[in-house]
Amino acid sequence: MLEVRAPAVAGMFYPGDAAALRREVAAMLDAARNGPAVGPPPKAIIVPHAGYIYSGPVAASAYALLASLAGRIERVVLLGPVHRVWVAGLALPGVTAFDTPLGRIALDQAAMAAVARLPQVEINDHAHAMEHSLEVQLPFLQTMLGEFRLVPLAVGGASARDVAEVLETLWGGDETLIVVSSDLSHYLPYDEARRVDAATADAILHRRSDLAGEMACGAHPINGLALAAHHRGLMPHLIDLRNSGDTAGDRDRVVGYGAFAFTKEG
């Protein structure tokens, strides 16, 4: 019988009504279309995962770069940090599809089986049931790519090498896109957050794999992507760097957001 993960944060982090969600995503993407050019279409992106009112415009700046990939991307490998249920390594869900207000996304069962054999990967539906870091990316991906198969990975304490091994297993070719979901600093005053996030962005742009949790809540998947990107010759580009004080919140305690694209040069 088909087992499907239902949306957990629709109506909270983003609109639960399909028409309203389409309008909001389209508006953010339209506003982002004149952002910086990075050359070839990205192989991987890093995007934030707060409520759309806060981080959506920053995420849209990276998703807008995928416009030429609709119909070409067959598989999205999506990694994000766990916020509710801790896992030692990486967790796959046991379901066969994820639902959003925009429709159903089938999971790539063959790809999931390939990485499930790795010792750092477990099957854990509890880690996915209420996890927003992956879910909030799905309407953007559905809007930009149309049909694709998903490999969702909730990342806990996995090392950079653990994550990089999973990415190498799933790397594929031009049909595979890698998406890492991560916010940056949390609850710092505005000016301090800008300094911390600039240092974190610099580390990502130098493909460092030693980010700590206070720099990015998705430090573990980012570190793994940095290691794999270095091995594969991907070059990172900063697309957008803001925080909630720039988008929709006050400036006393802000959350940092960054958008990055990794492209194959030459």
Domain boundaries, the chain: 4-264
- Cα–chain center distance at 27: 20
Which pairs count as long-range contacts for 17-22, CB under 8 Å and 24+ apart, including other chains?
A: 17/101, 18/101, 18/102, 21/101, 21/102, 21/139, 22/102, 22/143
Per CATH, the architecture of 4-264 is what? 3-Layer(aba) Sandwich (3.40)
pTM over 0.75: yes
Instruction: Using pLDDT thresholds of 50, 70 and 90, give the confidence band for residue 17.
Output: very high
pLDDT tens-digit profile of 158-190? 999 999 999 999 999 999 999 999 999 999 999
Express each pLDDT in 63-118 by its tens digit. Answer: 999 999 999 999 999 999 999 999 999 999 999 999 999 999 999 999 999 999 99
